[in-house]
Amino acid sequence: MTRNADELLEIGAKTNSPSYAPAQFLLDHGEGVWLWDSEGTKYLDFVAGIAVNCLGYKHPRIIEVIRRQSERLLHVSNMFYTREQIELMEALTQRCFADRVFLCNSGAEANEGAIKLARRWQYAVAEAPERIEIVTARYSFHGRTYGALSATGQPKYHEGFGPMLPGFLYADYNDLESFRAVVGERTAAVMLEPVQGEGGVRPAAPGFLEGIRALCDEVGALLIFDEVQAGVGRTGSLFAHQGYGVEPDIMCLAKALGGGVPIGATLATERAFHGWTRGSHATTYGGNPLVSAVSREVLAVIEEDDLCGNATRQGEALMDGLRSLAERFDVIKDVRGRGLMVGAEVGEAAGEISLLCREEGLLINTAGGHTLRFVPPLIVNAGHVEMALERVERALTRWSASRAA
Ligand SMILES: Cc1ncc(COP(=O)(O)O)c(C=O)c1O
């Protein structure tokens, strides 16, 4: 007996974790930048599984690599090497400052690795065991596990889950003086998103990351960039920090790295990895041959199809269009972003407008409660951006009319 969507949604409502509130329809299949629900309604997808599905849906190269790899090996554990894992680690380290990679399964886990790497480096290499503090930014988001949650500079995520881990301090993003006030001789590392995502899509201001790099060097702290959301092409360079010309000691990736399969990575210099020795850290699934093969293919497609260049071009077009809309709809207070990580600040109206966009056939979500977030697949073209803007315009027209009524 095949159950219909309503019956399944009813079961979902009873069995799903109450921490989620998914839309009340079933997504059924996708192709390119389009998604269809089980009733046949078609959506232009500017959520991309929250900045994950960089190649959209049903990409022929991803289908083929999954088919091929699933016929050979899915998983072997880190007791053994596979060609796929080594080739992924090689590809990543050839493309950035990092010399080594710890492969894992999610953004939070990549950040846990970074925090452990930094503290252990101070303990074992710098011989400064008192340096345990991790300084992060207010409105940052680093994940939901305890280390990553403690690093997240937003009290609303901590409420009722205390105590947080000791040794986490917060300063104001894009305010070097605020960081200067808390970074010092007990600092193990500063951890930052080059573009804040969940906190409201806020790019680092010119000079800020350079200033933080100099500050870390001055006091002997490591610099961690959390590129879980901003990395892997989204901001117009393969890694977001490359667009800023500032290198960290440690970088965390996840989301788009797997194009839809779960993978995370903590990357760092040889020097930063000196703190870890055999047994210091591990994870069972990390870098298994299936996800590694897919991730390697994702990187290849991003390069061969110049999706970084596309992210820059389409991101500019999207931001230009949103700025034009801001001239007509004063609910839009600010448009900001980098590449295809774009936000439109609309205050309290964010939830309502994003729902209206969905009714108009455009999937977006909100960040920080006040910002509409646009993180489409990196394969979007000018026509898709135009269509998205038309749908946003219709949603804003309806929202404005409902306010006037
Ligand atoms: C910057 C950043 N770091 C970490 C995370 C956590 O990633 P995950 O949900 O894969 O644990 C997120 C998720 O949104 C993120 O945006």
Neighbours of 126 (CB within 10 A): 15
pLDDT in tens, 197-244: 999 999 999 999 999 999 999 999 999 999 999 999 999 999 999 999
- On the question of pLDDT at 1 being above 80, the answer is no
Query: Is 32 part of a structural domain of the chain?
Result: yes
For range 91-113, the mean pLDDT: 98
Query: Is 68 part of a structural domain of the chain?
Result: no
- Ligand 1 within 6 A of 198 CB? yes
Residue 141 is among the residues annotated as catalytic for this protein? yes
- On the question of pLDDT at 136 being above 90, the answer is yes
Residues β-bridged to residue 341: 338
Residue 12 and residue 150 in one domain: no
Single out the catalytic residue among 45, 102, 179, 226.
Answer: 226
Q: Which two tokens stand for residue 372?
A: 């509409």
Q: Which two tokens stand for residue 288?
A: 């298994």
Domain count, the chain: 2
Query: Is 64 part of a structural domain of the chain?
Result: no
Identity of the residue numbered 234: R
CA 158, chain centre distance (Å): 20
Residue 136 and residue 41 in one domain: no
Q: Which two tokens stand for residue 200?
A: 């409201």
CATH, residue 235: 3.40.640.10
Distance 72 CA to ligand 1 centre (A): 31
Query: Is 65 part of a structural domain of the chain?
Result: no
pLDDT in tens, 6-43: 999 999 999 999 999 999 999 999 999 999 999 999 99
Choosing from 134, 229, 263 the residue with most ligand 1 atoms within 8 A of its CB, the one to mutate for a pocket test is: 229
Taking the C-alpha atoms of residue 48 and residue 398, their distance in angstroms, rounded to an integer, is 25
Q: Match 């930094």 to its residue by tokens.
A: 118
- Ligand 1 within 6 A of 240 CB? no
Residue 243 and residue 287 in one domain: yes
- Ligand 1 within 6 A of 107 CB? yes
pLDDT in tens, 184-194: 999 999 999 99
For residue 404, what pLDDT is reported? 85
SS3 81: coil
Instruction: Express the helix, strand and coil content of the chain in percent, nearest 5 each.
Output: 40, 20, 40
Residue 10 and residue 119 in one domain: no
Q: Which two tokens stand for residue 282?
A: 């591990």
Residues 34, 381 contacting (CB under 8 angstroms): no
pLDDT in tens, 361-379: 999 999 999 999 999 999 9
Query: Is 77 part of a structural domain of the chain?
Result: yes
Residue 277 and residue 326 in one domain: no
The angle subtended at Cα 295 by Cα 292 and Cα 301, nearest 5°, is 145
Residue 234 and residue 329 in one domain: no
Taking the C-alpha atoms of residue 363 and residue 48, their distance in angstroms, rounded to an integer, is 9
Query: 291: domain range?
Result: 73-304
DSSP 241-265: HHHHT---SEEEE-GGGGBTB--EE
Choosing from 111, 115, 141, 193 the residue with most ligand 1 atoms within 8 A of its CB, the one to mutate for a pocket test is: 141
For residue 2, what pLDDT is reported? 87
Residue 298 and residue 217 in one domain: yes
The number of C-alpha atoms within 13 Å of 306 and in the hemisphere containing its C-beta is: 6
Query: Is 217 part of a structural domain of the chain?
Result: yes
Residue 405 pLDDT level (bands cut at 50, 70, 90) = confident
Q: Which two tokens stand for residue 253?
A: 């990736």
For residue 364, what pLDDT is reported? 98
- Ligand 1 within 6 A of 115 CB? no
For residue 139, what pLDDT is reported? 97
Residue 225 and residue 345 in one domain: no
Query: Is 66 part of a structural domain of the chain?
Result: no
| Chosen domain end from 281, 304, 327 | 304
Query: Is 189 part of a structural domain of the chain?
Result: yes
Residue 284 and residue 208 in one domain: yes
Residue 105 and residue 213 in one domain: yes
Residue 280 and residue 327 in one domain: no
| Chosen domain end from 304, 324, 341 | 304
Taking the C-alpha atoms of residue 302 and residue 305, their distance in angstroms, rounded to an integer, is 6
Choosing from 136, 150, 255, 365 the residue with most ligand 1 atoms within 8 A of its CB, the one to mutate for a pocket test is: 255
pLDDT in tens, 285-342: 999 999 999 999 999 999 999 999 999 999 999 999 999 999 999 999 999 999 999 9
Q: CA 389 → CA 200, 322, 401, 402, distances in Å?
A: 20, 7, 18, 20
For residue 28, what pLDDT is reported? 98
Residue 168 is among the residues annotated as catalytic for this protein? no
- Beta-sheet pairing, 202-203 with 195-196: antiparallel
